[in-house]
Structure 1
């Protein structure tokens, strides 16, 4: 004769399962001031993101899949096999742009999952959730909203924001904007259609004001400064204060991309000068600059311990210690299952 399981045991098991499910799937919100990545990293497509003593990154040796490592570049773990960019990590979640390369068999399959879009995943690699299924040019996190450059056939390119719980998807600006320039509750950005002025939008009121009338691109916000490429000055790096005053030239050579250390002391930048192209570092306190490596490099990313950058033609990734060291090494993370 089979023993019957006591009703109280079944009831407790059900209650335990409900509590576990609620805790596991409950949305956890951020503080309103939380930022998902640095302004400079997002300017460089957000392939590295440091949060809570971990670095989340796109592994260039594994089709830019999502990985995590310690800040000293040890203890690697693969989180998810997606081709990722614009990584934003904060609190419980990682947010990113997925741009998987669809194979011919996937194109023909009725079971093929969407290969592009804006996604949320728990840092453990569980509960992958689609926030938007479509092409996303760039994305960033402020508080509990993801700001992203949205594209569809009807409206074209425009800046949207969506809450991390998949609600309140709203179009903010009917232009293609890289939303990487947050300072407090203000988003600074360069116009892309009628002019290239620097604007700011308050994220509480959504009011927009002109900050600086210039021909500007590739904006980066660091502390009280806005850095940008001056398009009238052959893409030299300039800066102004966040109130639009005190304009000054920082780098007097044509540059393609740049980033600033977390301390705000060092500017890392790529000079485009034909046979004299090179990756450089400037001490912003003294104005002294030096060449780190000759060649053409992109995707400059800063973390607390290291600076990462990619060679343009080969996608090979290099790293140097943060600070004044010139010790260049190749970043070769493992490829994991």
Structure 2
């Protein structure tokens, strides 16, 4: 199990029985997701850029130079709000390639990814719930 310490902005690994804690990242981690042996996180010491590190603490790598928040990892993709571009929704491959703007709506609060659909509140449309496919297609209002 992995967790983030809000107070120290660090990421720890710990056994599910609560024993054997190990600090993976010190004083730089914001939001995080764990997927397939990697921890993906927002590096607050590097302007809120996306980084990844193996769950054993090795192979720390910068994934994107965008200033981001709200990262979600699904399959080979990371979805995020890109504050270099008005907080619009973007995606990038976990290896840092194929960066793409998904939509030009202003995302209010958080967003979620379920079955290939990204659900979000569109603040340009009075915070109405919308969804869009992860490839940017089929944007629609949720009723």
Q: Do they fold alike, i.e. is TM over 0.5?
A: yes
Residue matched to 2:14: 162
Q: Which has the higher helix share?
A: 1
Consecutive unaligned residues of structure 1, counting only runs of 5 or more, are 1-145, 293-325, 327-337
SS, match of residue 41 in structure 2: strand
Q: Which has the higher strand share?
A: 2
The number of aligned residues is: 141
SS, match of residue 84 in structure 2: helix
Residue matched to 1:280: 130
Stretches of 4+ aligned residues off by more than 6 angstroms: none
CA contact (8 A) 1:234 1:253 kept: no
Q: Show CA shifts across 1:193-225 (max 9, x none).
A: 232221110113533111222212111111111
SS, match of residue 165 in structure 1: coil
CA contact (8 A) 2:48 2:68 kept: yes
* Deviation of 1:286 (Å): 7.0
Q: 2:48 aligns with which of 180, 192, 196?
A: 196
Residue matched to 2:102: 250
CA distance in 2 between partners of 1:278 and 1:188 (Å):
29
Matched, 1:184 2:36: yes
Residue matched to 1:149: 4
Aligned 1:72-221 pairs, distance under 5 A: 146-151=1-6, 156-174=8-26, 175-180=28-33, 182-221=34-73
SS, match of residue 239 in structure 1: strand
* TM-score normalized with structure 2 length: 0.86
Consecutive unaligned residues of structure 2, counting only runs of 5 or more, are none
Residue matched to 2:113: 260
SS, match of residue 4 in structure 2: strand
* Deviation of 1:284 (Å): 4.1
CA contact (8 A) 2:32 2:71 kept: no
